[in-house]
Amino acid sequence: MDKIVRNATNAIPDDPELSTYRFIIVSAKRARQLQSGARSFLPTTSRKPTVTSMEEVRRGLVKYTDTNQVLPEDFVANQL
């Protein structure tokens, strides 16, 4: 009965954890870029940057890097 339900409509395609939180953060940052004048990756009739950015993220058109990833041991050893 403890079934985990993943919301596939609110996930980034290359995100192995299918994190809804990550989807929201990436979409919000992309929406800010669109509001600042960046061009959309999609032809759209929507004037709302949030709708456009969410669709771009869903399709995997927005590239992002996870800054919370653990650093490789070699990098950490060289920094000490």
Question: Is the domain covering 8-79 a CATH 3.90.940 domain?
Answer: yes
Separation of alpha carbons 75 and 26, rounded Å:
26
17-38 residue pLDDT tens: 778 888 899 999 999 999 999 9
Separation of alpha carbons 54 and 74, rounded Å:
37
Long-range contacts of 30-33 (CB under 8 A, 24+ apart): 30/56, 30/57, 30/62
Separation of alpha carbons 22 and 33, rounded Å:
17
- Any idea where the domains of the chain sit in the sequence? 8-79
Give the largest Cα separation in the chain, rounded: 53
pLDDT at 34: 95
pLDDT at 19: 82
pLDDT band at residue 46 using 50, 70 and 90 as cut-offs: confident
Indicate the helix (H) or strand (E) that contains 21. Answer: helix 20-35
**Does 62 have pLDDT greater than 80?**
yes
